[in-house]
Amino acid sequence: MTDRIERVMVITAHPDDSEFGAGGTVARLVKEGREVTYVIATNGNKGSGDRTMTPERLAAIRMDEQRNAARVLGVAHVEFLGYPDGELEDTRDLRRDVTREIRRWRPDLVITMNPHRTYNLYASHRDHRTVAGVALDCVYPLARDHMSFPELMPEFEPHKVREVYLMQWENPHLVIDITDVMDLKLKALTCHGSQVGDFAGVETRIRERNAEIGKAQGYAYAESFDRIAMPR
């Protein structure tokens, strides 16, 4: 991975998206000395089949689970934006909140989800598409231009992101070897107890998927992304 990256921000919709899509990459970036910050747009308060669960209780559980998973991977900061799960919209408020976090933590690299609808309905959940589209709009032009969101100034000065990785499984630009950190990714995923009831089944699926992604490059396990380099 590229040497000029010092700070990384992972912008996702739900607590657990980072670990599923990029947990190994995050673990590697941390081991290589990068500071990683998570920004999670929703509170994940709909993701339960338990009829006795309430949205308030679930939101609190999922924040704890996310903080624990972040700790396992060595993530430095976790920011929750608190929007309701399943209802994320591309609003001025969301764009301002994401812009503020980019300006606060000043990442060189932003990792986010995939803005496109695909036939993989889990991967292209509406909140995932929305958060990814908003993240790209905030990288350019909103975080960069001082006259966007004037209310953020002077506390949050403009910032230029250098690169973006988008979680991508079909013909990705970039395949990252996560073999050495696969155990950490799985350990972080176990923190999401409210989401991964049958962890053995989840582990099998994750191992199969990450092995499949790595196969062409000869990696035992890998994660994959499209990469956008911002012109200087």
Which CB atom, from 37 or from 112, has the smaller least distance to Zn ion? Answer: 112
**DSSP run (H or E) holding 214:** helix 199-214
Q: Is 9 helix (H, G, I), strand (E, B) or coil?
A: strand
The C-alpha atoms of residue 165 and residue 170 are separated, in whole angstroms, by 14
Which CB atom, from 75 or from 152, has the smaller least distance to Zn ion? Answer: 75
Beta carbons within 10 angstroms of residue 171's beta carbon: 7
Which CB atom, from 17 or from 19, has the smaller least distance to Zn ion? Answer: 17
Which CB atom, from 44 or from 214, has the smaller least distance to Zn ion? Answer: 44
Torsion, CA 11, CA 14, CA 15, CA 17, rounded to 10 = -70
Which CB atom, from 126 or from 144, has the smaller least distance to Zn ion? Answer: 126
Report, in Å, the least distance between residue 20 CB and Zn ion: 8
Report, in Å, the least distance between residue 42 CB and Zn ion: 8
Report the half-sphere exposure of 4 (CA within 13 A, side-chain side).
Answer: 5
| Residue showing tokens 């996310």 | 66
Pairing of strands 222-229, 163-167: antiparallel
Report, in Å, the least distance between residue 49 CB and Zn ion: 15
Report, in Å, the least distance between residue 128 CB and Zn ion: 6
Report, in Å, the least distance between residue 146 CB and Zn ion: 33
**DSSP run (H or E) holding 216:** none
Residue closest to Zn ion, measured at CB: 14
State the residues that interact with Zn ion by CB under 5 A.
13-14, 17
Number of H helices, E strands in the chain: 6, 7
